[in-house]
Structure 1
């Protein structure tokens, strides 16, 4: 007999999608997983040019960007669907595939805060499966929770807010266990920060898996969070349904221009990613030395499972002029920023180190 599914009826997000610290003055913003570096000169130039044509509608099909992405990923253009960030793409997807209150969207928890919110918008029912040891997806428990009403399963890899990944071999076994007709969404918003060779590339897994969708974004590694541009890679029938649900002209001209310019400057941008990864490792080691070892992260943030001290830590950071993302009763997510910003967070963390 299949074990009971750990489901809750139509939950709302446990925490606001926009961190409260956004409304407070802070010297260092380490709450929203933003890239701390401004656009490259070539990208800024493309944005300025697009601003000069703001009186015109954008290309509704985002033709140039779609073609560049198809070339970059090695997939047909018909396998792509764009939206206002990965959140926009996910909204289009859920509105296409979730059709009734009884339809379930299954995901790990804690994970990306938008999942329950987007499920509510689509009038579906959330099924949350607790993370396993090490704050990693418990794929066996997730597979066991799939039932007759499951329509979409989301795997956030690396997971937000913990930064953990699942090994590629485990992910492939999980995908092979999914029933036909259950859409699996692999949310790879932080894919560019992954250095673990065991981690799978979602796009490479698409072959022979018609029910798999990979979602990525230009917000994080490419530093275009303010422009809202993301995309899905899927087999043509699925991609077409996502595009059909999209708001007309939903990807603005500046976002398209910025993304095209970012792809052209990709090697320069990814050198910044390498620097952020070095800072991630330095900061993680410093926290470990303090006795506050974070979960192993492959993203641009670190997770401290502080439990009941999470809110206190967040308040102490705010007092010191650094905004972090506190999940009361659970933990704290610290975005990797500049060395100065990270050192400010570390100074606060020193006061929370376990006493000998």
Structure 2
């Protein structure tokens, strides 16, 4: 269970506004994890996987057709990125052993992770940068770009803070990359994938119930983007009591699904028409489904008293199964990673600074000091610059 939680905490940078876009890079090193690569690197734009490398395939590859456009200006992009990840693979492998020593661990299953990237608000031009390590599903150390210092989140990370804070050149480079270069790459990728990333799709909405005494589930599937909400209303007021929201999950086609349960135990027959399930997509589009016994699909067999033929709609059921499988698959490929959603676990910087893109991923042409010394003391005189895509 600890391993599953370490792998499956979703990275959740708060972004309630519909015009905020993100570029995130995840690095995962695994120790003694059966059937899991020792090292995985995944890139996401607006939560859509754009690139993937793992120690089994030993290749960095595009995960969206439109990402091939990056080679129009740089034919060696994927080859160079592959070579850089081969080097990172060895460094992460060494660093997970160092962290195990700090926790006095000699064996067992362990996960070391790094996430960094940026968010950009295309209305205000505000930028947030983030760079953080986690270990076994818990926050480890985080970069505060406002003060340009590292914040240890467990005692075992203090030694890293003490060493990394001394490297002012690296800290300056990190701030420049996360607040200027990263947003330029994000804008470039958004332009590459505009037709798919900027689309807005409304879902199909179904009412489902497992047994006569089960809560009623409102299930929405097939929507995009993931900046959406699903809730129950009574008359025109949103309900908060007797309601349980489920997690948002990915579908196999890149769209999303989510559900919200309503406890029917105290509901009077004459009040059914006052309830409705509402899906709200960022930007204002909505789908509303009024509560009607005739529309409820069940799985307690023919003659259950509700629904059409006593079975869940095939599409919705299949979608749920597919989503569950994709969630597990996402863990296996390292796409879904740790992140603790709590104030002290995430440090961001706010700035309106922008810069013109150099036309080349800086990480492809410059090394990164976190590659040299992620969790080890910094090597004097061996500071390399650049964060990598």
TM-score (norm 2): 0.26
Which has the larger share of strand?
2
Which has the larger share of helix?
1
Asked which structure has the greater RCO (Cα within 8 Å, sep 6+), the reply is 1
